[in-house]
Amino acid sequence: MDNVNIALMLKGIKDSEAFFELVDRCQAPVKIQVPGGDLHDLRGNVLLQNYLTWESPISAIECVEVFCHTGADLASILEFIEEYQLF
């Protein structure tokens, strides 16, 4: 499961700081689709991270679809989903 190409829809992320820390630790690009259709790596991209939280007064992320490319990164994101009960 080293090379995967999985899209995950995450909803109701209240601890965006923990989510961005997780994404920043990922081994391979964790991409999101921006308006216009391009995919951009979210890791270390403060501009994109701010874009995801700018509408929320508590910096929550209502909904985001991320694309991950390694089994280890997928496992980390799934663990985050379970820990923060984002079912």
User: pLDDT for 14-65, tens place per residue?
Assistant: 999 999 999 999 999 999 999 999 999 999 999 999 999 998 889 999 999 9
Q: Who contacts 49 (Cβ-Cβ below 8 Å, separation ≥6)? A: 16, 20, 42
pLDDT of 1 higher than 60: no
For residue 44, what pLDDT is reported? 98
Query: Which residues span the domain enclosing 42?
Result: 3-83
For residue 4, what pLDDT is reported? 85
Comparing C-alpha atoms, which of 32, 41, 30 is closest to residue 63? 32
CA distance 54 to 70: 29
Rg of the Cα atoms in the chain: 12
State whether residue 59 is helix, strand or coil.
Answer: coil
* Domain total in the chain: 1
pLDDT of 2 higher than 80: no
Residue ranges with strand state E in the chain: 3-13, 31-33, 39-41, 61-70
| Adjacent-strand bridge partners of 11 | 63
Instruction: Band the pLDDT of 3: cuts 50, 70, 90.
Output: confident
pLDDT of 87 higher than 80: no
